[in-house]
C-alpha cells in the first residue's frame, strides 16, 4: 500500500534508513518524531506492517523520561515541547547506547539543548530540578526547515521574510502567577468580534518548498500552474505562494513538473522539495489555519489588496473626488486562553482612481518651472498600489534621468521596462518619457544582502490613502466617516452577515469539512468587569473639591466654574496678532481672562504686538522683540490661516531658541460662536504650560514614578526617528519631566531611553529628596514583531542602568507595552461598553500577562479597547492593582477633561514626539523640560 493511500493514523510511520539532519548536525538514525503515538491511538506500523519495534519502544521510554525531566517547565506552557527540540534530543539516543538511564540522559540533553530549543538560554536547572522563571519561550523553528537554497535571490528574500514573521512569541506571564485576572469591579458579560473553532484538524502536516524557474512573482499565476499538476499531488493541500502544506507524504523527496506560463508561453520548471513537518500544537501550526481561512475568503469572490481581502462588487463611489471605498475583512486565527479563535474585523480601503502619472501632470500644470520639487514633496513617502501584482510600495525617491525606455539587466539580458511589462504582464506603457519611482529595500532586507532598489512606472502605480489636501476637506471626510463608522449594533450585524456567508457557501463548507474544521455561528461571549469610577480632585488643600465624572467620564462642565488644582499668577505675557484682527483679539483676550478668573487663576493684562502683514518673517521679528523686551511667561500667537511652515517657525523659535511656551490659535477659533468654551480650554492649556495643573485623581501608591515613551518618525529626516519620554515627578501626577532624543537604530534608542530615564530620576530626586521606589514604564510604538527586541535590548539595558543608579537597593520596575491599533472590538448589549471596562480572560493570550481596557467614552462608532502587555514586572502588585492604576492614569491628560485611550504619560509622549517630528525637527531647549509646553 502506498504511503499516500494509507489512513491518517498510519501516516508518519517509522521509516528505517531515512536520513534526517538534526540541529546539531547529527543523524536522527531513522527515528521520526511522529512515531510517538498519543494515548488511545493504535500502535504505529512499520513498512512491513509489524508492531512497534525495539527502537520505537525505546523512544516511548525516552519520551516518558523527558516528560519527567522537563515537567517543571512545559506544564506552564501548555504541556508541550516543540518538535524541533525533541527531535534533536531524540537524535542522540539509540537502542545501542542505553548505558545510562533514560531519565538522567534526558536531563543531560535537556540542558545541552536549552539554548537551541523552546527553553530560553537564560534558564538554569537547579539541583532540586526546578527552573528559574523563563522570560522568553515558545516554539522555535527548525534550522533545517528551509535550508534548501532558493533558485532566486527574491525567493531567498521571501523565505527569510517568512521565517522572520514566524519568530517565537515573547512569554511574559510569570511562572509563579496563578492568575492574571483581577477581581475589582462590577461583573458584566460582553460579546467580542471573535468566533470559536469548535473542531480543528490535528493532523501532522508536511511542508514542501516550491520553486519556479524562471522566476514568477504572482501568486495567482503560481497557484494556477501548480493546479495543472493536481492529479499528481495526492490529496488536498494549501499553497501560500512559496510553501505547500499537506497531510500526505509524497513518494519522492523532490518532485519536478513543467508548465507553460500563459502570459508569455515560457516553459516554467516547478520544483517541489520536502523541508519540514508540523504537528498539532506547534507554534507555526496556526499559520496553516490562517492560510485555510484566506482560501475561504477567495471563495467569497473577494479581492486581495495588500494583505487583506475586499469586496469590489460592494464598492461605493465618492464623487466628485475620484475615490472608491471598498469594504473588506481582516481575519486572524490565533491560540487564545482556552481555544483557537477567529478574529474578524471590518475594514475599508480608499481606492483612488488617479495614478502617480496623473499626480505628476497636475504638478506640471501647477508649477511648470519647479514641478520636480513639488512632485518630490507630494509623492515621497507615499504608498502606491500596483494592480499587475497587487502589491503596495513606499516611494523613497524619484529618478528623473530614467524612463520606461531605460534598460536594466534581466537574467543577463539587457531589457527595457517597456519590454519587461509587455512580456511578463501583457501591459503596454503609453508614456515612455515619465520618470521612474524608486523603492528602497527595508533595513531588514539590506541586512540580508538584498540592497537592490525596485523601480516603478508612475503610470502603473495607483495612489492609495488620502492626501493632506483631502484630509482638510470637511465634506469629503464627513462622507467617508458616514460610510465607515458603524455603531456596535451595525458592526455586529455585519460580522454575523460575514459568518452566514461562510456557512452558506458550499465550497467553503466543503473545504472546511475536508480539513475536519467547523466555525461557530455566534460571537464569543467573554466575562469582564467595570472598574469603579474615579473621583476628580480639583483642589486638595484644607477645603478639598471633588467631582464625579459620571458614566461618560466627562467633567468639562464642573471644571469651568471651579478652581484648578494648582496655578501660578501670571504678571507678564504677550499677544502677537495681525493688526486686521485687533478688535477680535481684544475680545478673545477679555474672555480668556474671565475664564481664568472663574477657575481662580490670575492673568494680568498682556502686552500686544500687532503686525501689518502675516508673513512668517514678521512673526519671527515680533517674537524676538517680545522675548527681548517683555520677558513674558508665555506668548499667545494668532494666525490668520492654518499653515504648517508658519506654525513650525513660531514653535521652533520659542521652543528651541527662547524656551518660552507659546499658544497658537487660528482666527476662526477666536471668532467662533463657542468662544467661551474655547477660552476655558486655552486657559487650562496655558496653566499647564506654565507649571500648573487643573486636576488629579487619588494615587494611593507612594514613591511612584510613571513614565510614558513613544516613537515618531521625523517628516523631513526620514532616516531618523524621535524618542519622546515624559515622566511624573510628584504623587498627584501634576508635574512632569520631558526629554527628546533622535536615533537611527534600535541600539541608539535603547541607549537614549536609559539615559533619559536617568535624567528623569535625577529630576525626581530634586523634587522629592529621594529616588522613586517604583517605576512603571508604558511603552507605545511597539509592533507585534518588535516585542522580542524591546525585551532583550530596552528592558535588559534599562535594568542594568537602574542597577548602577540604585546599587544595593534595587528599584521595583514594570515595563508595559501599550497597543492602540488592534482589531479587537467589544459589545455590551448592542452598545459600547462603559469607560472602565477591563477584559483579562478568553480573548487574551496564554503566554502573556496582558489585558484589554476601555477607558474612553465614544459617542460615535464602535469603541476600540487598548491592549496592555506587561513584558516585565517586579512591582509586587497583583493584576487587579495594576489594572486600576492604568485606568486612573487615563484621567490625567490635561488637554481633555475626560478619560483618554492610554495613560496620560503615554499621550504626553506622543504629543511631544509629534511636535518635534512635524514642526520643530530639532531637540527642544532644556529650559522647557519641566513644563507641558507641547500641549
Tell me the per-residue pLDDT of 31-61, one tens digit each, with 9 for 90 and over. Answer: 333 333 333 333 333 333 343 444 445 555 5
Confidence at 154, pLDDT banded by 50, 70, 90: very low
337 is catalytic: no
Provide the greatest CA pair distance for the chain: 101
475 is catalytic: no
pLDDT at 812 over 70: yes
pLDDT value of residue 60: 56
Q: Which residues have CB under 8 Å from 698's CB, separation 6+?
A: 534, 535, 537, 888
Percent of the chain whose pLDDT exceeds 70:
81
pLDDT value of residue 465: 82
Per the model's pLDDT, the better-predicted residue between 701 and 465 turns out to be 701
Confidence at 27, pLDDT banded by 50, 70, 90: very low
The DSSP string of 334-349 is EE-SSSEEEEEEEEEE
Q: Which residues have CB under 8 Å from 1's CB, separation 6+?
A: none
pLDDT at 353 over 60: yes
Count of C-beta atoms within a 10 Å radius of residue 164: 11
pLDDT value of residue 516: 84
Q: What is the mean pLDDT of residues 446-469?
A: 83
φ, ψ at 122 (rounded to 5°)? -95, 10
Per the model's pLDDT, the better-predicted residue between 293 and 201 turns out to be 293
- CB of 576 closer than 8 Å to CB of 665: no
User: Do the strands 186-196 and 340-355 form a parallel or antiparallel pair, or are they unpaired?
Assistant: antiparallel
pLDDT at 242 over 70: yes
Half-sphere exposure of 577 (CA within 13 A, CB side): 24
Positive/negative CA dihedral, 234, 235, 239, 242 = negative
Q: What is the DSSP letter of 846?
A: T
pLDDT at 148 over 80: no
pLDDT value of residue 200: 76
- CB of 718 closer than 8 Å to CB of 443: no
pLDDT at 241 over 70: yes
pLDDT value of residue 122: 32
Of 302-306, 325-329, 419-423, 635-639, the range with the lowest mean pLDDT is: 302-306
User: Do the strands 574-578 and 635-639 form a parallel or antiparallel pair, or are they unpaired?
Assistant: parallel
Name the active-site residue from 459, 614, 710, 880: 710
Euclidean distance between CA atoms 775 and 764, whole angstroms: 11
Per the model's pLDDT, the better-predicted residue between 765 and 219 turns out to be 765
Confidence at 471, pLDDT banded by 50, 70, 90: confident
How many residues appear in the chain? 935
Confidence at 91, pLDDT banded by 50, 70, 90: very low
- CB of 913 closer than 8 Å to CB of 724: yes
pLDDT value of residue 169: 64
Of 40-54, 638-652, 883-897, the range with the lowest mean pLDDT is: 40-54
Q: Cα 560 vs. chain centroid, distance in angstroms?
A: 38
pLDDT value of residue 216: 84
The angle subtended at Cα 881 by Cα 878 and Cα 885, nearest 5°, is 140
Euclidean distance between CA atoms 796 and 609, whole angstroms: 52
pLDDT value of residue 809: 87
Euclidean distance between CA atoms 533 and 528, whole angstroms: 16
* Burial zone of 357 (CB within 10 Å; 0-12 exposed, 13-18 middle, 19+ buried): middle
Q: Burial code of 99-135, b = ≥16 C-beta within 10 A, e = fewer? A: eeebbebbbebbeebbebbbbbeebebeeeeebeebb
- Strand order across the beta sheet in which 607-611 lies: 607-611, 574-578, 635-639, 662-666
Euclidean distance between CA atoms 893 and 630, whole angstroms: 31
User: Do the strands 323-335 and 308-310 form a parallel or antiparallel pair, or are they unpaired?
Assistant: antiparallel
Euclidean distance between CA atoms 406 and 414, whole angstroms: 10
pTM: 0.80
- CB of 539 closer than 8 Å to CB of 565: yes
Confidence at 19, pLDDT banded by 50, 70, 90: very low
Of 180-184, 279-283, 520-524, 606-610, the range with the lowest mean pLDDT is: 279-283
Of 512-521, 798-807, 868-877, the range with the lowest mean pLDDT is: 512-521
Which of 738, 844, 722, 671 is closest to 182 using CA atoms? 844
pLDDT digits (tens, 9 = 90+) for 546-566: 899 988 889 988 888 889 999
pLDDT at 607 over 80: yes
Give strand pairing partners of 554: 898
- Cα–Cα distances in angstroms (integers) from residue 259 to residues 222, 231, 421, in the given order: 10, 14, 21
Of 52-66, 458-472, 883-897, 903-917, the range with the lowest mean pLDDT is: 52-66
780 is catalytic: yes
pLDDT at 170 over 80: no
pLDDT digits (tens, 9 = 90+) for 311-327: 988 989 887 788 889 99
Euclidean distance between CA atoms 800 and 798, whole angstroms: 5
Which of 864, 854, 735, 870 is closest to 171 using CA atoms? 870
Of 365-369, 738-742, 815-819, the range with the lowest mean pLDDT is: 365-369
pLDDT value of residue 444: 64
pLDDT at 344 over 90: yes
pLDDT value of residue 63: 56
Name the active-site residue from 358, 621, 748, 752: 748
Confidence at 870, pLDDT banded by 50, 70, 90: very high
pLDDT value of residue 319: 79
Euclidean distance between CA atoms 484 and 635, whole angstroms: 40
SS3 705: strand
Element (H, E) at 789: helix 787-789
- CB of 15 closer than 8 Å to CB of 48: no
- Cα–Cα distances in angstroms (integers) from residue 271 to residues 56, 113, 211, 236, 255, in the given order: 33, 34, 5, 18, 6
Q: Cα 822 vs. chain centroid, distance in angstroms?
A: 7
Q: Burial code of 469-500, b = ≥16 C-beta within 10 A, e = fewer? A: eeeeeeebeebbeeeeebebeebbebbeebbe
Euclidean distance between CA atoms 760 and 690, whole angstroms: 19
Count of C-beta atoms within a 10 Å radius of residue 141: 18
pLDDT value of residue 132: 27
264 is catalytic: no
Of 46-60, 224-238, 250-264, the range with the lowest mean pLDDT is: 46-60
Q: Which residues have CB under 8 Å from 745's CB, separation 6+?
A: none
- CB of 483 closer than 8 Å to CB of 348: yes
pLDDT at 657 over 60: yes
Euclidean distance between CA atoms 32 and 12, whole angstroms: 8
Confidence at 909, pLDDT banded by 50, 70, 90: very high
- CB of 691 closer than 8 Å to CB of 930: yes
pLDDT at 698 over 90: yes
Percent of the chain whose pLDDT exceeds 90:
52
Q: What is the mean pLDDT of residues 381-409?
A: 89
Give strand pairing partners of 609: 576
Based on C-alpha coordinates, what's the Rg of the chain? 31
Per the model's pLDDT, the better-predicted residue between 55 and 715 turns out to be 715
Q: Which residues have CB under 8 Å from 855's CB, separation 6+?
A: 553, 835, 836, 866, 886, 887, 890, 899, 900, 901, 902
Euclidean distance between CA atoms 823 and 670, whole angstroms: 39
Q: What is the mean pLDDT of residues 455-469?
A: 88
pLDDT at 125 over 70: no
pLDDT digits (tens, 9 = 90+) for 822-864: 999 999 999 999 999 999 999 999 999 999 999 999 888 999 9
pLDDT value of residue 104: 39
Name the active-site residue from 76, 135, 511, 780: 780
Q: What is the mean pLDDT of residues 890-910?
A: 96
- CB of 867 closer than 8 Å to CB of 859: no
Confidence at 67, pLDDT banded by 50, 70, 90: low
pLDDT value of residue 364: 92
Which of 384, 311, 401, 317 is closest to 348 using CA atoms? 311
Q: Which residues have CB under 8 Å from 453's CB, separation 6+?
A: 397, 438, 439, 440, 441
Name the average pLDDT for the chain.
81
Amino acid at each position: 500500500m502506498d504511503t499516500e493511500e494509507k489512513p491518517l493514523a498510519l501516516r508518519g510511520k517509522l521509516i528505517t534508513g531515512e536520513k534526517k539532519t538534526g540541529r546539531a548536525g547529527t543523524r536522527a538514525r531513522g527515528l521520526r518524531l511522529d512515531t510517538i503515538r498519543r494515548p488511545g491511538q493504535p500502535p504505529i506500523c512499520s513498512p512491513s506492517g509489524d508492531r512497534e519495534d525495539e527502537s520505537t519502544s525505546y523512544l516511548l521510554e525516552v519520551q516518558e523520561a523527558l516528560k519527567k525531566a522537563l515537567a517543571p517547565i512545559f506544564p506552564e506552557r501548555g504541556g508541550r515541547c516543540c518538535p524541533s527540540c525533541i527531535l534533536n534530543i531524540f537524535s542522540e539516543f539509540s537502542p545501542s547506547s542505553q548505558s545510562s538511564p533514560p531519565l538522567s540522559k534526558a536531563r543531560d540533553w535537556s540542558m545541552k539543548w536549552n539554548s537551541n530549543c523552546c527553553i530560553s538560554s537564560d534558564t538554569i536547572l537547579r539541583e532540586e530540578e526546578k527552573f528559574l522563571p523563563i522570560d522568553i519561550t515558545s516554539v522555535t523553528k527548525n534550522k533545517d526547515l528551509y535550508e534548501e537554497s532558493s533558485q532566486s535571490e527574491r525567493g531567498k528574500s521571501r523565505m527569510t521574510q517568512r521565517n522572520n514573521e514566524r519568530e517565537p512569541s515573547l512569554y511574559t506571564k510569570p511562572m509563579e502567577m496563578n492568575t492574571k485576572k483581577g477581581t475589582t469591579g462590577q461583573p458584566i458579560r460582553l460579546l467580542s468580534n471573535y468566533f470559536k473553532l469548535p473542531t480543528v484538524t490535528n493532523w501532522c502536516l508536511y511542508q514542501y518548498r516550491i520553486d519556479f524557474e524562471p522566476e514568477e512573482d504572482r501568486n495567482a499565476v503560481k497557484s494556477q500552474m501548480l493546479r495543472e499538476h493536481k492529479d499528481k499531488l495526492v490529496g488536498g493541500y494549501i499553497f501560500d505562494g512559496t510553501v505547500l502544506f499537506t497531510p500526505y507524504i509524497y513518494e519522492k523527496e523532490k518532485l519536478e513538473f513543467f508548465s507553460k506560463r500563459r502570459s508569455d508561453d515560457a516553459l516554467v520548471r516547478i520544483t517541489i522539495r520536502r523541508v519540514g513537518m508540523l504537528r498539532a500544537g506547534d507554534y507555526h501550526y496556526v499559520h496553516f489555519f490562517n492560510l485555510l481561512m484566506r482560501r475561504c475568503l477567495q471563495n467569497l469572490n473577494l479581492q486581495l489588496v495588500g494583505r487583506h481581502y475586499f469586496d469590489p462588487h460592494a464598492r461605493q463611489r465618492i464623487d466628485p473626488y475620484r475615490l472608491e471605498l471598498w469594504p473588506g475583512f481582516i481575519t486572524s486565527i490565533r491560540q487564545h486562553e482556552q481555544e483557537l479563535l477567529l478574529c474578524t474585523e471590518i475594514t475599508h480601503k480608499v481606492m483612488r482612481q488617479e495614478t502617480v502619472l496623473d499626480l505628476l501632470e497636475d504638478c506640471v500644470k501647477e508649477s511648470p518651472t519647479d514641478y520636480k520639487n513639488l512632485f518630490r514633496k507630494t509623492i515621497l513617502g507615499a504608498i502606491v498600489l500596483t494592480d499587475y501584482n497587487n502589491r503596495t510600495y513606499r516611494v523613497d525617491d524619484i529618478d528623473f534621468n530614467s524612463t520606461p525606455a531605460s534598460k536594466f539587466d534581466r537574467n543577463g539580458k539587457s531589457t527595457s521596462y517597456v519590454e519587461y511589462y509587455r512580456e511578463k504582464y501583457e501591459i503596454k506603457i503609453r508614456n515612455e518619457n515619465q520618470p521612474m519611482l524608486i523603492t528602497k529595500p527595508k533595513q531588514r532586507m539590506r541586512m540580508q544582502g538584498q540592497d537592490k532598489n525596485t523601480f516603478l512606472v508612475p503610470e502603473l502605480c495607483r495612489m492609495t490613502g488620502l492626501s493632506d489636501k483631502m484630509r482638510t476637506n470637511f465634506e469629503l471626510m464627513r462622507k467617508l466617516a458616514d460610510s465607515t463608522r458603524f455603531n456596535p449594533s451595525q458592526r455586529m450585524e455585519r460580522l454575523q452577515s460575514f459568518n452566514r456567508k461562510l456557512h452558506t457557501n458550499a465550497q467553503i463548507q466543503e473545504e472546511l469539512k475536508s480539513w475536519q474544521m467547523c466555525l461557530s455561528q455566534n460571537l464569543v461571549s467573554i466575562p469582564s468587569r467595570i472598574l469603579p469610577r474615579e473621583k476628580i480632585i480639583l483642589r486638595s488643600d484644607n477645603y478639598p473639591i471633588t467631582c464625579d465624572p459620571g458614566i461618560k467620564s466627562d467633567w468639562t462642565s464642573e471644571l469651568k466654574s471651579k478652581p484648578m488644582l494648582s496655578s501660578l499668577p501670571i504678571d507678564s505675557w504677550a499677544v502677537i496678532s495681525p493688526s486686521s484682527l485687533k478688535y477680535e483679539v481684544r475680545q478673545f483676550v477679555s474672555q480668556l481672562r474671565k475664564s481664568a478668573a472663574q477657575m481662580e487663576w490670575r492673568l494680568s493684562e498682556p502686552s500686544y504686538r500687532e503686525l501689518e502683514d502675516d508673513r512668517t518673517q514678521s512673526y519671527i521679528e515680533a517674537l524676538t522683540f517680545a522675548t527681548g523686551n517683555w520677558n513674558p511667561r508665555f506668548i499667545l500667537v494668532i494666525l490668520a490661516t492654518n499653515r504648517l511652515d508658519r506654525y513650525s517657525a513660531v514653535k521652533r523659535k520659542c521652543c528651541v531658541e527662547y524656551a518660552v511656551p507659546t499658544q497658537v490659535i487660528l482666527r476662526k477659533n477666536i471668532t467662533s460662536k463657542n468662544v467661551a468654551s474655547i477660552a476655558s480650554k486655552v486657559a487650562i492649556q496655558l496653566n499647564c504650560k506654565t507649571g500648573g495643573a487643573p486636576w488629579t485623581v487619588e494615587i494611593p501608591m507612594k514613591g511612584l514614578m510613571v513614565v510614558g515613551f513613544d516613537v515618531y518618525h521625523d517628516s523631513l529626516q526620514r532616516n531618523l526617528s524621535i524618542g519622546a519620554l515624559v515622566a511624573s515627578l510628584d504623587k498627584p501626577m501634576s508635574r512632569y519631566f520631558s526629554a527628546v532624543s533622535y536615533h537611527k537604530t534600535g541600539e541608539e534608542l535603547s541607549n537614549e531611553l536609559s539615559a533619559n530615564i536617568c535624567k528623569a530620576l535625577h529630576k525626581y530626586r530634586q523634587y522629592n529628596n529621594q529616588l522613586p521606589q517604583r517605576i512603571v514604564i508604558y511603552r507605545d510604538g511597539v509592533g507585534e514583531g518588535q516585542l522580542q527586541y524591546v525585551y532583550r535590548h530596552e528592558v535588559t539595558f534599562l535594568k542594568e542602568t537602574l542597577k548602577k543608579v540604585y546599587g544595593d537597593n534595587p528599584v521595583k520596575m514594570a515595563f508595559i507595552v501599550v497597543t492602540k491599533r488592534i482589531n479587537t472590538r467589544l459589545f455590551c448589549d448592542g452598545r459600547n461598553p462603559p469607560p472602565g471596562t477591563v477584559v483579562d480572560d478568553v480573548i487574551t493570550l496564554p503566554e502573556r500577562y496582558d489585558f484589554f481596557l476601555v477607558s474612553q467614552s465614544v459617542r460615535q462608532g464602535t469603541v476600540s479597547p487598548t491592549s496592555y502587555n506587561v513584558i516585565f514586572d517586579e512591582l509586587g502588585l497583583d493584576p487587579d492593582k495594576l489594572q486600576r492604576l492604568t485606568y486612573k492614569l487615563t484621567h490625567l491628560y490635561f488637554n481633555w477633561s475626560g478619560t483618554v485611550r492610554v495613560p496620560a504619560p503615554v499621550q504626553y509622549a506622543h504629543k511631544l514626539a509629534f511636535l518635534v517630528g512635524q514642526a520643530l525637527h530639532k531637540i527642544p531647549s532644556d529650559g522647557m523640560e519641566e513644563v507641558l509646553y507641547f500641549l
